Amino acid sequence: MLAKDSLLTEAKAASSAKPEPVAPASTTVSLPGSEVAELVHLARAVLMKSPDDLAALSHAAPSMPKNWIDAFMAERARAEAEAKFWSTAITYLMATSPNNIANDG
């Protein structure tokens, strides 16, 4: 297994394009777990409700929609960071790969 510095050197030598820096090796990429599954379930339930139902819920429990919004925004930020991680890995591979590799992304 090559060290990260070695990979960076090879990537720079193989391509004049300068990809974004690689996330540190200690960066963890969390895959969907039970908490994410619960948020997905909640988001689907929210999307199936009518505006009147959501207004009634907000009236009955004013803090609940705000808490859900905060949780959805946090999950979106995590998902965007994870997508950036994967995009960076793809960019590095494409920068060091032969030109005949298709880019399906």
The helix/strand/coil state of 63 is helix
In this predicted model, what pLDDT tens digit does every residue of 84-95 receive, in sequence order?
A: 999 999 999 999
In this predicted model, what pLDDT tens digit does every residue of 72-82 receive, in sequence order?
A: 999 999 999 99
Q: Cβ(40)–Cβ(29) under 8 Å?
A: no
Give the predicted TM-score (pTM) of the model. 0.59
Please report, for the chain, the start and end positions of each structural domain, with discontinuous segments joined by +.
Answer: 32-97
Q: Each residue of 30-54: b (16+ CB within 10 Å) or e?
A: eeeeeeeeebeeeeeeeeeeeeeee
In this predicted model, what pLDDT tens digit does every residue of 30-67 receive, in sequence order?
A: 555 788 899 999 999 999 999 999 999 999 999 999 99
